[in-house]
Structure 1
Amino acid sequence: MIRQASATAIAVGCAALWTGAAFGQQTAIQLDPIILSGGLTPAEAATYARAYTVVTAAEIEARGITTVQDALRSVPGVAVSGAGRDFTQVRIRGGEANHTLVLIDGVPAGAGDGEYSFSGLETANIERIEVLRGPQSTFYGSNASSGVINIVTKKGTTPGVRYGGEVEVGNGYAGALHGSARTERGGLSFNFSGRDDRGYDYSGDGGEKDGIERGSLGLAGDWRATEDLKFGFTVRGARERSDFDSTNWTPVDAASYVVDDPNQRADRRELTGELYGEYAMLDGRLNHRLAWTHSELDRKTTGSDWTDQKTDAFKYRASYGLDGAAEQARHLVNFLAEHHRDSSSANPDYDRDATSLALEYRGSLSFGLDVQAGLRHDFNSVFKDATTWTLGLSYLVPNTPLRLHGSAGTGSVNPTYYELYAKDAWTDGNPNLTPERNRSFDFGVEASFLDGRGVVDVTYFNERLKNEIAYVTDPVTWKGTYVNRDGDSPRQGVEVSGSLALTPDTDLRLSYTYLDAKEADGRIEVRRPKHELSLGATQRFLEGRASVSADLRYVAGNHDDQFWGAYARAKLPNYAVVDLAGTYDLTENLQLFGRVDNLFDKDYSDVWGYAAPGITGALGLRANW
C-alpha cells in the first residue's frame, strides 16, 4: 500500500486546528440567490428555468460527505457508478459520463477530451456544488450535452482575514487548510487538502486493500484597479496515486472477474487555471470580460507511459443591460466569442480547435414570466460545424405557492481521441465518427408549503440522443472499434426533490429519480438505475451545538455488461445503504465531527464484478476563524 501522504495530511490538519477562528454556526449559511453556472453570466435562482440542485458546504459538513462523487449520489437525475474508488463515472439523465461537463471554479476539469473521472476529489474546501440538468452546450460547447457540474471552492467573500481547517482519522488520515484575506479593493485565498485513504479490496476477495493518496492546492486572487476595472486569477493543482485490481480474462462469474493484484498502480496529475480582466462602461450598462483558461490532465498506470491532455481557451464576453446596469437589468443580452484548442500526447498528430459564437437573452416580464434563450455556433476544425440552442421559461403563478418551469434545447458531444484514433491490441479507432447530438425538453412544478418551511419540485424530462457512439467487437478476432448507431437513443424520466423544516431543529430531505434509458436497438443502457431514492434527516439539539444526520439511499433496476458466460447485459441486485454523521461544537471555533458509512455493512455493487466498500468510520476536528 502507498502511504507517502500520511505525514503531510496529519501535519496540515493539526496546523489547521491551532492556527485559527469562527464556526459562526455554519449551518445558518444562506444559499446565494444566484446560479453561477446558469448561463453566460450568473442567473437568479428564483427565476432560473432549468432543473438544478445546489449542494452547500453546510449540507456537506452536516452529512459527513468527504468526496464530490458521494455528494452527487443524492442529487436527482444523477447516477454515480464506481469501479473502485479510482474510477468513478457520473451520468446525468441517462447520458454517458463524457456528456457531462465538469467545471472547477468555472474552468473545465476534463482536459483534452472525454470524461472527467471524479476519483478522490475532496469536499474539504468546497463552498458549493452546482448541478445543472439538461443540455448546456449553448453556453459551454461540446461535452455539456446532458448537463454541467460546477464545483466552487472556498475563497472568502467578506472583508478581513479568515482561516481554518480540519483533521480526520479513520480508514486512513486526512487534513485540510483554507485561508483568505480581503479588502475593499480585492483579496487572496488559498486552500489545501490531503488524504491517505487505505481503501478496500476492489475484488471483494478479502485481499490487499486498494487505497488512494491525493493532495490538492488552490490559489485565487482578484484586484480592483479602478472602480470599473478588475483583474483576477485562479489556479488549482492536484496529484493522486491509487491502487487498483486486475481483471480476469477467463472469468466464470462476478466473483472471479476482478482479482486481487497488489502490483497495480495509477498516477494522476491535474492543473487548471484562469486569468481574467473585467471592464465596466456606460455606468455599468456594458460589461466586458476577457479570459484565458488552461486545463491539463496527465495519467499513467503500471507499465505504461504518461498520457498528457491539454485544453486552452480564450474567451471574450460582453454583457449589456437593455434597461439599466447589467448586473441588475431585467432585460440582459450576453455575447460570447471563444477559441479553444485540445491536444493529447496519445495522438499528437490530431490536435483540434474550434471557434464559437454565442448569444443569450434573459428577461423578466412584469406578469411573473422569466425567459432565458440562447443560440451558439461552433466552427470546428475536424468535425462538421454545429449549432445548438436553448429556451427556458419560469412562471410564478399569481396568488399561489407554485412556480412552473420548463426548458428545451440541443447539445453536442465530439468523439474522443481514443474513439477516433486508437491503435492497440484491443481497439482500432474509427476516424469517420460524427458528433453525438442530443434533443431535450423538460417541464416541472415547484411548490412551497407550510409557510415556506417546505418545498417540493417535480420535473419530467425527455431526451433523444442521435448518432450514439458505441463499442462493437468482432466475434472472430475479439478486436473492437467504435461506431455511430443508427436511430435515436431515447431517455425519459421524473426527478423529485423536496425539503422540509419539520421543526426549528429538524430538517428532512428527499430525492427520487425514475429513469428509462435505452439504446437505439431497445437495450437498457448500462449503469443507469431505473430507480434511485434518497431520504435524509438532520436533528439539532443542545441549543444547536450538536447535530445528527442519517441518510438512506436505495438503488434498483441497474444493469451492466457481464464479461463472462453469455457476455450478456444483466441486472445488478437492488440495494439500500444507510450512512450516519454527527457534529458537536466544542467551542465557538472548534467542532468535533464523526461519521459511519454503510452502517449495516451492506454487500453491493454498482458495476458487475467490483465490490463496494463495507462499513467504515472516522472522527475529526474542524476549526474556523
Structure 2
Amino acid sequence: SDRVSLGYGADATRESMEQHTPGFAPLAPDMRSHNWRGGGFATLGVTPVAPLDLSATIRGDRHSDYGGKGTWRLGAAYRIEQTGTTLRSSYGTAWQPPSLYERFDPCYGRADLRPERSRGWDAGVDQSLLGGQLTAGATYFQAGTRDQINWLYGPAANPACSGGGYVNVDRTRAQGVELDLAARPTATTDLRAAYSWQSVVDANSGQRLRNLPLHQASASVGWRFLPAAYANLGLRYRDMIENYGTGSAFLTADLRLSYELTDAVTLHGRVENLFNRRYEEVYGHAAESRSAYAGLSARF
C-alpha cells in the first residue's frame, strides 16, 4: 500500500578453491576445497506519517561449514520538506564466515578461524540544495566486532613460509565519518565526490588494526556527450598500507563508456588503472596494470 511495503528475496553462493604450491611440498600438498552459503531476507517498510519512514529487515543464513545464523537491521528516516533535509539512522547486526583462502592457504591460513560477528549503528543527514541540483550527505558510524579476521605477524606455519597469518581478533571497535557530494550542473553532466575516515582498533590493546586504510576518497565526472552515449572518469585514493610498517598511498583512475544501441541493448566498455600506476592494496600483492573490458547488456 502507500504506507506499507514488503521486500523479500533469497541468494546462494558456492565458493571453491584449488591451490598447487610445489615450492612447499611435501609440507603443503595440493589443496581443493569448496563450501556453500545460502540465505533469505525480508524487509518491511512503514510510513506512519508522511515525513517519517521506518524499516525492519531480518535475514537468515546457512553455511555448509558453520551452520545457521540470523541477523537483523532497523532503520528510520525523517524528511523536512521545507528545507530539503533528511535525517536518518540505523542499527543492525552482521555475520561473516572466513574465506577458503583465509582458512586453508598453506602458509597463512588457519583452519580453526571463527566467523566475524558484529553490531553497529549510524546516524546521518542529507541536504538537497539549488532545487535538487546539489546534494550533500554526512554520516557518523560505530561498530563493534567479535572475532574480526585480520592479518597478524607471527611464527611461520612451516619452514618454507614467511611468518604471519590470519587470526581472529577477540574484540574490535570501529568508528568513522563518511561525506558525499553530488552535483548536476547541466542536463548532460554530473559530478560526485566522497570521502571516508575510519579507525578500527583492537578493543583489548587499543592498537589500530593493520591493512585497513584510515583515509579513502573518490571523485568522478560524467558526461552524456550524445543522447545515447555516456562517459565517466573516476579517481580513487587510498592511504598507506600498514603491514610491516611499509606501503604507500595510491591514486588510480578508471574510464567508463556506454552507448545505447537500442532501447534494450547497451554496448559498454571500461579501462581500469588508466595511467598504469604500480600500487598495492595488500602488501606483497600487486594490483593489475592497465586493463580494458568491453561487453553488451540487454534489458527485457
Q: Report what 2:232 is aligned to.
A: 549
- Quote the offset at 1:464 in angstroms: 1.4
The residue that corresponds to 1:514 in the other structure is 197
Measure the CA separation in 2 of the matches of 1:624 and 1:482.
Answer: 41
Q: Which moved more, 1:387-396 or 1:499-508?
A: 387-396
The match for 1:400 among 79, 83, 91 is 83
Q: Counterparts of 2:79 and 2:85 in 1: how far apart (Å)?
A: 6
8 Å contact kept, 1:429–1:482: no
Shift of 1:366: 1.4
Q: 1:527 aligns with which of 194, 197, 211?
A: 211
CA contact (8 A) 2:38 2:61 kept: no
Cα deviation, residue 503, structure 1: 0.4
1: CA distance, partners of 2:265 / 2:56:
47
Matches within 5 A, 1:84-163: 106-109=10-13
1:308-387 map, 5 Å: 308-311=34-37, 362-373=45-56
- State yes or no: 1:610 paired with 2:274: no
> 1:455 and 2:139 equivalent?
no
Distance in 1 (alpha carbons) for counterparts of 2:276 and 2:37: 42
SS state of the match for residue 600, structure 1?
coil
Give the Cα–Cα distance (whole angstroms) in 2 for the partners of residues 593 and 377 of structure 1: 36
Cα RMSD, aligned residues only: 4.3
1:590 is displaced (CA, Å) by: 7.9
Query: Where does residue 299 of structure 1 map in the other structure?
Result: 17
Greater C-alpha Rg? 1
Tell whether the 8 Å contact from 1:428 to 1:480 is kept in structure 2 after alignment: no
Aligned to 1:538: 222
Letter of the 1:614 counterpart: S
Change (3 A) 1:40 1:311: farther
Which residue of structure 2 lines up, in the alignment, with residue 466 of structure 1?
146
The match for 1:139 is none
Q: Contact (CA 8 Å) 1:369, 1:394: kept in 2 or not?
A: yes
Pairs within 5 Å for 1:409-448: 409-413=92-96, 429-430=111-112, 436-448=116-128
Tell me, which stretches of 5 or more residues in structure 1 are unaligned? 1-38, 43-104, 110-295, 318-333, 335-359, 562-567
C-alpha deviations, 1:16-35, integer Å up to 9, x for none?
A: xxxxxxxxxxxxxxxxxxxx
Structure 2 length normalisation: TM-score? 0.72
Structure-2 separation of matches of 1:596 and 1:423 = 31
Preserved CA contact (<8 Å) 2:47 2:54: yes
Change over 3 Å in CA distance of 1:426–1:369 after alignment to 2: closer
* 8 Å Cα contact 1:590/1:621 also seen in 2: no
Q: 1:491 Cα shift? A: 1.1
CA distance in 2, matches of 1:384, 1:310: 10
Conserved 8 A contact 2:38-2:63 = no
Q: Paired residue for 1:167?
A: none
Pairing 1:167-316 to 2, within 5 Å after superposition: 296-302=14-20, 304=30, 306-311=32-37
1:497 aligns with 2:180: yes
CA contact (8 A) 1:362 1:371 kept: yes
Deviation, 1:613, is 2.8
Deviations 1:435-490, CA, capped at 9 Å, x for gaps: 5431211001112222122322211111111343556676487687876544x311
Instruction: Kindly state the Cα deviation for residue 311 of structure 1 after the two structures are TM-superposed.
Output: 4.3
Distance change in 2, residues 1:571/1:403 (3 Å):
farther
Distance 1:591 1:525, change over 3 A: same
Q: C-alpha deviations, 1:565-596, integer Å up to 9, x for none? A: xxx2x242112122334455678888776544
- Give unpaired runs (5+ residues) of structure 2: 22-29
Match of 1:41 in 2: 7
SS state of the match for residue 446, structure 1? Answer: strand
Matched residue of 1:451: which SS? helix
Which amino acid in structure 2 is aligned with residue 405 of structure 1? R
User: Whose strand fraction is larger, Structure 1's or Structure 2's?
Assistant: 2
Shift in Å at residue 40 of structure 1?
Answer: 7.3
